[in-house]
Amino acid sequence: MGEPSLRERALRHLARRDHSRAELAKKLAAHGEADEVEAVIERMGELGLQSDSRYAEAFVRGKAARFGTSRLRSELARRGIERDLIDEALASECVESEAERARTVLRSRFAAPPADAREWARQARFLQTRGFAPDLIRKLLKEPYDESA
């Protein structure tokens, strides 16, 4: 059996999961010329098989419960999504407030509030790596834990 065409390769990648335009171009680059790759990706977009907007919304929907806005924004930008599409996806898919998401992430990882400066720093680093803002982190770590939650 012969080598699969660029179109077949693109279809296989898109059948597994959504890909951004940049991701798909990177995966296909080794198998064809730049103009051929661009033509295939353009055709996939015309057919509705590839959409950066749909990719961004699905990405945010899947990861918003675990990550802050700044991390989601940087991950999408790293994957080649345009800024306006990122803003639209964040606005439509992040229904919970940033503070509520951060509180949920913090409480799922740590059962008790920080007892000393070392534990405070540990919890703050955890939230920071998840992409939450420093002001929000300070606010959350100062508030008492609600035992009923």
pLDDT digit string, tens, across residues 81-122: 999 999 999 998 877 789 999 999 999 999 888 989 999 999
Q: 1-50 with 51-95: one CATH topology?
A: yes
Q: Report pLDDT for 149.
A: 45
- Judge whether 28 and 40 are in contact, CB under 8 Å: yes
> CATH for 1-50?
1.10.10
Q: Show me where the domains of the chain are located.
A: 1-50, 51-95, 98-142
Third-level CATH fold of 51-95: Arc Repressor Mutant, subunit A (1.10.10)
pLDDT tens digit sequence for 41-89: 999 999 999 999 999 999 999 999 999 999 999 999 999 999 999 999 9
pLDDT band at 3 (very low <50, low <70, confident <90, very high): confident
